[in-house]
Structure 1
């Protein structure tokens, strides 16, 4: 049986990002995996009931998703609202879906305070990037799911090669 892959809905062309847009990942292997029934699509934030569009959010204080999961950091909106609880629920939903559907891998949009795995933003809303995981990416990794960013699709293809 072929391995299933949890994938960010925005990468599949769904307009679910905070700004109401999609960010489709145009790669021939995506179509192949979709035809094979290997992709399980989720927008963690939408699964937790967050609206589209929604205020931009970042992990405060240059912290990471791991620190949010440990209760040492918060996710805040540009408007100042604390959305930590929603992001924790989003991560929990993604882990549950990965387990229910047998996803051993995840392909997530980078930069997101939820799905980022190569980089996230530093919490100042200034566009400054830092290495680190978003809340969902951190939770998936902790649950044993191998997480790849959209920029690492080549590594995921290699990982799935027989």
Structure 2
């Protein structure tokens, strides 16, 4: 069983109220081989919502700020924790998550300046899942390695 960012499975839950469906991932959910989760919605954020990015305060601390300057860190932390709780209950070992997202991004995220600049880092949910031993792929890695990932 996989955990998949809900927007990748076709759920219109992104900040802009849209999805970024990857048809193969939607099919995994339809076939009961994956569960679709949006950590931001689990954290209580609305659809649509303000665009958000992670702002790094120092090497260890970060917060999530909206484009309009609202601190939404608590909602992102809550959503990440709820996502982890669900993953543990279901026994998830692999998650396929939306790249660059402040929740689901893994390895690369936007840098907090809302300029489109990418930096090294993880979204709150992806980072928490990975710290608990869950293997994380982004949809970009999934597209490049579909058979390898789904055979694991």
Q: Fold conserved (TM > 0.5)? A: yes
Aligned to 2:34: 39
Aligned to 1:161: 151
Aligned to 1:105: 94
Quote how far apart the aligned CAs of 1:30 are: 4.9
The two structures, once aligned, show a CA RMSD in angstroms of: 1.9
Partner deviation per Cα, 1:17-74 (whole Å, 9 max, x = no partner):
00111100123x652x33541111100000111001111111113878xx4xxxx211
1:78 aligns with 2:67: yes
Distance 1:36 1:135 in 2: 28
Classify the secondary structure of the residue corresponding to 2:4: strand
Distance 1:115 1:62 in 2: 19
Equivalent runs, 1:147-158 vs 2, <5 Å: 147-153=136-142, 154-155=144-145, 157-158=147-148
Please report the TM-score for the alignment, with normalisation by the length of structure 1.
0.85
Structure 1 residue ranges (4+ consecutive) displaced by more than 2 angstroms after TM superposition: 33-36, 61-64, 154-157, 159-162
Distance 2:7 2:48 in 1: 13
Please report the TM-score for the alignment, with normalisation by the length of structure 2.
0.91
Classify the secondary structure of the residue corresponding to 1:112: coil
Aligned to 2:8: 11
In structure 1, list runs of 5 or more residues that go unmatched.
none
Classify the secondary structure of the residue corresponding to 2:56: helix
Equivalent runs, 1:120-159 vs 2, <5 Å: 120-153=109-142, 154-155=144-145, 157-159=147-149
1:20 aligns with 2:9: no
Quote how far apart the aligned CAs of 1:132 are: 1.8
Classify the secondary structure of the residue corresponding to 1:93: helix
